Structure 1
Amino acid sequence: MSSKDEILTAIRQNTVQRYEYPDWEIKATVYPDKISRFCEISQFVGGKAVVLQEAEDINDIIRSHFPEARKIASQMEEITCATIRPDTLAEAQELDGTDVAVVEGAFGVAENGAVWIPQNVKHKALYFIAEALVIVLDRHSLVHNMQEAYELLAGQTYPFGTFISGPSKTADIEQALVMGAHGACTCLVILK
């Protein structure tokens, strides 16, 4: 028997009164308007979220936010402004120099502006190597909080997946916040 087992056994033997775990329900925050909250928090974390209107073309929105972009990478068929299809590239290194990556999110979280992105491209480097990241997300796939998000992920397996909330950020001991230090400098979420 290990010393850990000995200690646990001694505790169990000397416990006089035992208590059941409390029966409680976690009351997570629920928002009256998930879309507005998601947009507000996206801006708070350094990104931006826009709601695609019925008459708008998603490609026009991308071009208006990134007019200087020359190398736009996307596997999404509806993204006609893409100049490269990343899954046709043999090596992830060929993504170097990507100005804008346009990817599809599975669902978003109103609580913190995070978007779950399962790997649905050949090279996951696409999510992190571009100067700007555009995430296309169905506005009806927003959940209120992380508890709901983890319930959606329960029991599913992915080769890779990540939550992304705004552009990359880092802060040093002097509390200087730097955006885009180790990934996309800007992040735009388009809610369609």
Structure 2
Amino acid sequence: MSRASILNAIKKNKPESVPLPQIDLSLFHEDIDLVDIFYKNLESVGGRIVSLNTIEDLDAEIKKRYPNAKSIVSCSNTSQLATISISNETEPHSLESIDLAIIDAQFGVAENGAVWISENDFIVRALPFIANDLVLILSKNDICLHMHEAYNLISKRERTFGVFLSGPSKTADIEQCLVIGAQGAMSLTVFIF
């Protein structure tokens, strides 16, 4: 069959659209400490969280936790630690030796410790995955309860690349041996203010 005939056959046999179910989100409401739940869930998946007294403490705290980081990319206006600049023209492969990437997070999800970042916050899509260590900066006022709320938040965005991250890269083989940093960042630290 030709490509055109396959596509025509698909169009002819396409099922009718079904509306998404209406979900009463009030059923999921819980009166809990979102920051505490976010912290526990992020920690359970291998991430770390550092509470800042003020955002001005950010660079000092990053230096304290990553004293050996030399190649640093910062996509945040709140950190002045960048030693490497990137732009839309930066070749992603040139970032393979980045020690630390610093990125602003748009919001966090208490339910699973995930953090939403989009390419509006980091210019090169490979950056959060190619850096050795990843620092995300998050306001405690920007933590939502669950993924229903999170999907509502991202439904209103420009349709650009974005990703939920929950802890550092990890994988487990058939022998159930967990490896942290298997395909991406060896560590993920959320600095929360």
- Quickly name the TM-score band, shorter chain normalised: 0.7 to 0.9
Q: Cα–Cα, structure 1 residues 151 and 167, in superposed 2: closer, same or farther, change >3 Å?
A: same
Tell me whether 144-153 or 155-164 shows the greater mean CA deviation.
Answer: 155-164
**Per-residue deviation, residues 68-115 of structure 1 (Å, max 9, x unmatched):** 111111122221111112227631122110001000111000110000
Q: Which residue is equivalent to 1:99?
A: 99
Q: Which residue of 2 aligns with 1:115?
A: 115
CA contact (8 A) 2:169 2:182 kept: yes
Could you tell me which runs of 5 or more consecutive residues in structure 2 were left unpaired when the two chains were aligned. Answer: 1-8, 16-20
Which residue pairs with 1:34 in the alignment? 34
What secondary structure, in the 3-state scheme, does the structure 2 residue paired with 1:166 have?
Answer: coil
2:160 corresponding residue in structure 1: 159
Deviations 1:31-81 (A, max 9, x none): 511111111111111010111113851001111111111111112222111
What 5-or-longer segments of structure 1 have no aligned partner?
A: 9-21
Distance 1:158 1:88, change over 3 A: closer
The TM-score with structure 2 as length reference comes to 0.82
**Alignment match, 2:184:** 183
Q: TM-score, normalised by structure 1?
A: 0.83
Write the deviation string for residues 7-52 of structure 1: whole angstroms up to 9, x where unpaired. x9xxxxxxxxxxxxx9873522535111111111111110101111
**Alignment match, 2:149:** 148
Aligned residues: 175
1:144 maps to amino acid: L
Please tell me the root mean square deviation across aligned C-alpha atoms, in Å: 2.4
